[in-house]
Amino acid sequence: MTPELRGIQLASDVILINSQEGIVAEISGAQLVIDSLKREGVDTMYSLPGDPVGDIVNGWAEAGMRMISVRHEQTAGMAAQAHSYFTRSVGVCVAASGVGQTNTMTAIANAQVNCWPLLVIGGASELRRRNMGDFQELAQLESTAPLCKWAYTVESTERIPTLINIAMREALAGRPGPVYLDLPADMITTKVDESIVEIPEPHSEPARPLAEPEKIKQALKVLKEADRPLLIVGKGAAWSWAEDELLEFVDKTQIPFLTSPMGSGMLPPGHPLNVSSARTQALQGADVVLLVGARMNWIFHFGQPPRFSEDYKLIQVDIEPTEIGRNHAAEVGLVGDAKMVMRQLVDALGDNPVVFEETDWISGLNAKSIQNAETIEPMLNSDFEQIGYYRILKEIRDYMPEDSIIVADGASTMDISRQVIPIHNPRGRIDAGVAGCV
């Protein structure tokens, strides 16, 4: 290397400097963000470009990576978390400073209540000008942190790879959720000696916890004693990709089931034990409920009467220990990953088989499902001049291929589409979710 190479540009944000000690490679904060995200396996960025994150967004696109530009930062955050749900990965949203960053907060809140991993990188005012009235200076970290599993401000450019690595791990650990990295403008533009930058090992998928073996035995014992059993499948099971284990469990036990709105498709809609169309009767009549990856929140009426029976027993599968017994005491709590716990239950059936015979309970639910389908049939085929929800959704249903992903928005459209449009594939439906975002 010769002195003539001093200051020659190697890449958009990497330069060589010739000093008395030799050649020093320098790299900018923007390039460290790009390289770190790529190293962590990110392939798509959602953003509304603006200051001070322009170098990150442009560099990402120039590197040949997928960059989806939107027209509002909330949209970027929503799209990124949907990406995470469909791919079992961390969705990434990059926002400009000030109001650009605060526009992501509804998306962050939505990711929190829906338990979806989301990394928001928010540009921010320069550290050296904090509390001076800098351009778009807001208390971004302080306002965002309460909505996140983890939030941090970058205070030295060389730590960017480490902090992005931590953020990815935090987003996925235990119950997934949103994380936030506050990235001041001077941390983006500053160039540092590449040799002092610590590069961590990329994050890997967290270990999937198993339930206690003794609890598995207890769960099957309680289930075996049921006269009116019911399996409820939620989107937590969808995030866990537990569809194979769930189907095997249903086929072996012959337990009737229903799903949450976004749990739809985790089991075949045409399965003879699918009683989703008789939801009210099923919830009110069950004496033992096996709840997998769903919460007893408003979507399931808090698990309380009159929507549930007074004295039903609850077997609850959830990765979050504090969720066990919330709103209704759990007879057995199985803390663990839904896919892994369902595999434990399936395997345990070998030594302790549970098989439910055809009973008035199951035949009654099937009869109610048929009755409800007959009730809406006239609305599906109505030729009334002012077209109604049922008819137009039926036309959409008949037009769509079975492998479509349904995005259902709005109260009536969302609710009625559940009755009309069957979901044939796991993670085949996304809607307003727990937060009711429309």
187 has a pLDDT exceeding 70: yes
Task: Give start and end residues of each alpha helix (H) in 194-287.
Answer: 213-224, 235-240, 243-253, 279-285
Please tell me whether residues 41 and 133 are part of one structural domain: yes
Statement: residue 21 has pLDDT above 90: no
Alpha carbons 379 and 123: distance in angstroms, whole number:
51
Q: How far apart are CA 290 and CA 257, in angstroms?
A: 9
What does residue 104 show for φ and ψ, rounded to 5 degrees? -85, -10
pLDDT at 113 over 60: yes
> Would 9 be classed as within a structural domain?
yes
Better pLDDT: 361 or 134: 361
State which of 372, 407, 429 marks the end of a domain.
372
CA distance 300 to 294: 9
- The verdict on residue 206 lying in a domain is no
User: Are 261 and 146 contained in the same domain?
Assistant: no
Q: Which two tokens stand for residue 426?
A: 């796991």
- Would residue 303 be called left, alpha or beta, if left means φ above 0 and alpha means ψ between -120 and 50 degrees? left
What is the chain's length? 438
Report how far residue 266's alpha carbon sits from residue 237's, in angstroms, rounded to the nearest whole number: 8
Q: How far is CA 55 from CA 11, 17, 29, 51, 286, in A?
A: 12, 21, 9, 9, 57
Name the residue range of residue 71's domain. Answer: 3-196
- How far apart CA 289 and CA 427 sit, in angstroms, is 23
Mean pLDDT of the region 35-53: 97
- Residue among 230, 253, 241, 226 nearest 345 (CA): 253
Q: Domain check: are 42 and 121 in the same one?
A: yes
Q: Which long-range contacts link 108-111 to residues 24+ away (Cβ below 8 Å)?
A: 108/77, 108/144, 108/147, 108/148, 108/178, 108/180, 109/147, 109/435, 110/77, 110/78, 110/81, 110/433, 110/435, 110/437, 111/77, 111/81, 111/84, 111/177, 111/178
Q: Hey, is 180 helix, strand or coil? A: strand
Residue 155: pLDDT over 50: yes
Of 224 and 1, the structure prediction assigns the larger pLDDT to: 224
Tokens 């990711």 locate to: 111
Name 289's bridge partners.
Answer: 230, 314
Assign 1 a pLDDT band (cuts: 50, 70, 90).
very low
Please check the confidence at residue 343 and state whether its pLDDT lies above 90.
Answer: yes
Specify the pLDDT at position 10: 43
Q: What is the pLDDT of residue 384?
A: 87
Model pLDDT, residue 435: 83
Measure CA 411 to chain center. 21
Query: Average pLDDT, whole number, for the chain?
Result: 93
**Whole-angstrom distance between the N-terminal and C-terminal Cα of the chain?**
59
Residues 6+ apart with CB under 8 A from 222: 288, 313, 315, 331, 332
396 located within any domain? no
Query: Confidence class of residue 385 from pLDDT cuts 50, 70 and 90?
Result: confident
Residue-level pLDDT at 6: 36
| Final residue in a domain of this structure, among 372, 402, 418 | 372
Number of domains in the chain: 2
CATH number of the domain where residue 292 is located: 3.40.50.1220
Q: Is the pLDDT of residue 17 over 80?
A: no
Which of 403, 343, 364, 367 is CA-nearest to residue 209? 343
Tokens 């399996």 sit on residue = 231
Identify whether residues 139 and 243 lie together within a single domain: no
- pLDDT (average), residues 415-436: 92
**Boundary-marking domain end, from 196, 231, 248:** 196
Task: Kindly report, residue by residue over 216-270, the tens digit of the pLDDT.
Answer: 999 999 999 999 999 999 999 999 999 999 999 999 999 999 999 999 999 999 9
Q: Alpha-carbon distance 315 to 345, whole Å?
A: 12
